[in-house]
Structure 1
């Protein structure tokens, strides 16, 4: 009976150790998984925005509401990401400041309102064309490599918001 107790004790100790390792690994990956969907979605939508601006420019701005709607979605998503970080603290205060500055800069552009498309004047269209160039310069755009590295994403966002003039 004594040998059986030793074996059960060792098995229990081993299983507890495995459980602790799995728990630590889960916590580490949870931190990554909270960031990934938000910034991947923002990055993806910024790439789409760059492509939409190019499309509209090539097609004489036949459907400008596609661009204003996409930017409206990006601004909303940035706000949600910033607000979520205030609750869950999944990134540094410096990174949040970068996202807040991008939010502020992108909020200057005309965007759609609920049930109402923004009307773009010639000057607004020119600002969007300039935004497209700034997106590409920052490394965000169609046929430009992008990945899932948080640090690289923040660098691109920082480069983007620094290039956007305020006010337009």
Structure 2
């Protein structure tokens, strides 16, 4: 077992097993603070702990905040911008029949929605005429830049499609927007 692996034992309904799985260092705290108490609580109530919560999915990028709603969001959204995000709603793969995707709508473009980036990427790689995955995100606070160098802190709800790479810094943290603006966007 590697240094980043987690070993846990479960004993519920007669199932006594040891399981090891790799855990990236950036998810270790979340595992210890979120998942372990849930597992202990389930076992204390005499119930088996059946699955990892969505937040603990071993995805490279955040998983959809509510997998039950994936595919239910409006097709049209804003595009890009804002510098910060609060939640990933779904990952989308847009398909273009004129570029070789199956024609599922009288020649119109369409998309498939997924809970994880990895699912969307696999579909994109296996489907001719499809784009790289995009993330549909929710912003509760963001930066509006009406002209170069003019940074305005906005609040409300904004749903927009983003390049997946823009998710790398993770969800917005308290005070980040103010620090970003104070630094003139050079954080």
Query: Which one has more relative contact order, counting CA pairs under 8 Å at least 6 apart?
Result: 1
Q: Normalising to structure 2: TM-score of the pair?
A: 0.20
Instruction: Pick the structure with more helix per residue.
Output: 1
Q: Normalising to structure 1: TM-score of the pair?
A: 0.21
